[in-house]
DNA sequence: CACTTGACCTGTCCGC
DNA sequence: TGCGGACAGGTCAAGT
């Protein structure tokens, strides 16, 4: 479930807290998601930058190595700081300290400072791996990613061309990371509602106006969510263990039975491409087919 | 090649 | 109360 806004929320949080810190040790508790032998080399290295590509978090280390982390659906990355009062009261360091590690903890990174970074993942779909920084762009998943929707490289003309090539419903096209990177089930539903497009409309049948509305809706919903610290409805928490607030402000996602914020029609939940999908039947009229 | 389906996992919820 | 089954959804492999 962590999509672009959730991973970016974690990235921003971690960036301010671990850049410059030296890693002391790494403990792998579940070897299918991370290889202890490979990760051992990062002991003694310093964090130089925390980046993101699509939904993948990239922690760059000195000696030109990068730690790649994908949270998939239930992954969490939580930093427990040694000194709980370093950033003033109120953050959950104390309680997280008591709670972690827990049964979903898969990897534990310990810093020289005494801070600890926990990679938790209830469903074990996520992964942690280490690569030479120069090979990150060629990594199988990253090499295929489409443009970052919040950056300059996301161009209307390219987006149009991508959609024109696809005859399937627009929803799976947006979920496909090669079209645009970072979207998942939440923000696809939100963007399609904002653009007033039914998720079953064929991508190559959308009018130029609809494609443009969608092109604008995508960064809009992502930025809105970033402003609320992402979306939490099952597992997502940020780098300090806090939940995101976007769901309270969502347009349609997880709101079946409630009223559309635009026209007050009852929101429905349907299935598109095997995915639970939320729509306003009035704002997003079904294609004729 | 374009597209669809199943697998990977575990916790939760629903109906009986 | 317990149990089977559906469901949650990101990505990849294998299928049509």
CA A275 / C1′ B6 distance in Å:
14
Looking at residue A243, what is its pLDDT?
Answer: 82
CA A35 / C1′ C12 distance in Å:
20
Q: Which residues of chain A between 258 and 277 are close to nucleic strand C, CB under 7 A?
A: 269, 271, 275-276
CA A263 / C1′ B2 distance in Å:
37
Q: Compute chain A's Rg from CA coordinates.
A: 20
Q: Which nucleotide is nearest to A122 (CA to C1')?
A: B10
Compute the distance between CA of residue A186 and CA of residue A231 in angstroms, rounded to an integer: 8
Looking at residue A233, what is its pLDDT?
Answer: 67
* Residue of A81, A106, A83, A102 lying closest to A28 (CA atoms): A106
Q: Which nucleotide is nearest to A189 (CA to C1')?
A: C9
On strand C, nucleotides with any atom < 7 Å from a protein CB are 7-12
Q: Which nucleotide is nearest to A271 (CA to C1')?
A: C7
Q: Which nucleotide is nearest to A167 (CA to C1')?
A: B2
The two tokens of residue A94 are 């104390």
Cβ contacts, strand B, under 7 angstroms: A 32, 103, 122-125, 165-168, 172, 273-274
Looking at residue A93, what is its pLDDT?
Answer: 46
Looking at residue A86, what is its pLDDT?
Answer: 47
Looking at residue A238, what is its pLDDT?
Answer: 83
**Residue A85 vs residues A100, A101, A238: alpha-carbon distances, Å:** 18, 21, 19
The two tokens of residue A199 are 């998720």
User: Catalytic amino acids of A?
Assistant: 2-3, 55, 275
Crossing angle, helix A208-227 and helix A185-194, to 10 degrees? 130
Residues in chain A: 289
CA dihedral sign of residues A77, A52, A4, A1:
negative
Q: Which nucleotide is nearest to A103 (CA to C1')?
A: B10
- How close are the terminal C-alpha atoms of chain A, in Å? 31
CA A71 / C1′ B6 distance in Å:
21
The answer to whether residues A228 and A286 touch, using CB atoms and an 8 Å cutoff, is no
Compute the distance between CA of residue A26 and CA of residue A21 in angstroms, rounded to an integer: 14
pLDDT averaged per 10 residues, chain A (length 289): 90 95 94 84 95 95 94 92 58 64 93 95 92 92 93 95 92 94 93 95 94 96 92 75 86 92 93 90 87
CA atoms within 13 A on the CB side of A220: 15
A123 Cβ nearer than 7 Å to chain C strand:
yes
| DSSP, res A182 | S
Crossing angle, helix A156-164 and helix A208-227, to 10 degrees? 120
Closest residue, CA to C1' of B8? A125
Looking at residue A235, what is its pLDDT?
Answer: 65
pTM: 0.93
Looking at residue A169, what is its pLDDT?
Answer: 93
A72 Cβ nearer than 7 Å to chain C strand:
yes
Compute the distance between CA of residue A161 and CA of residue A159 in angstroms, rounded to an integer: 5
A1 Cβ nearer than 7 Å to chain C strand:
yes
């Amino acid at each position: 479930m962590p999509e672009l806004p959730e991973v970016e929320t974690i990235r921003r949080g971690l960036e301010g807290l671990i850049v410059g810190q030296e890693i002391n040790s790494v403990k792998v508790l579940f070897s299918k998601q991370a290889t202890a032998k490979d990760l051992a080399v990062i002991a003694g290295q310093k964090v130089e930058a925390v980046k993101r590509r699509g939904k993948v978090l990239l922690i760059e280390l000195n000696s030109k190595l990068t730690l790649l982390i994908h949270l998939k659906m239930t992954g969490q990355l939580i930093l427990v700081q040694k000194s709980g009062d370093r950033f003033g009261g109120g953050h959950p360091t104390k309680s997280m300290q008591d709670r972690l590690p827990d049964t979903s903890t898969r990897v534990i990174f310990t810093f020289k400072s005494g801070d600890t970074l926990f990679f938790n993942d209830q469903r074990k779909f996520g992964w942690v791996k280490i690569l030479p920084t120069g090979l990150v762009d060629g990594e199988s998943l990253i090499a295929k990613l489409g443009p970052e929707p919040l950056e300059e490289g996301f161009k209307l003309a390219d987006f149009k061309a991508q959609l024109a090539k696809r005859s399937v419903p627009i929803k799976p096209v947006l979920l496909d990371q090669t079209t645009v990177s970072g979207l998942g089930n939440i923000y696809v539903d939100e963007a399609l509602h904002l653009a007033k497009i039914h998720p079953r409309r064929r991508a190559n049948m959308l009018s130029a106006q609809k494609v443009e509305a969608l092109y604008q809706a995508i960064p809009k919903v992502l930025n809105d969510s970033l402003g609320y610290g992402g979306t939490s409805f099952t597992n997502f928490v940020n780098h300090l263990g806090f939940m995101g607030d976007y769901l309270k402000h969502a347009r349609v996602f997880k709101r079946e039975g409630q009223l559309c914020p635009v026209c007050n029609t009852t929101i429905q939940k349907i299935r598109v491409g095997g995915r639970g999908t939320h729509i306003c039947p009035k704002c997003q009229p079904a294609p004729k087919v």
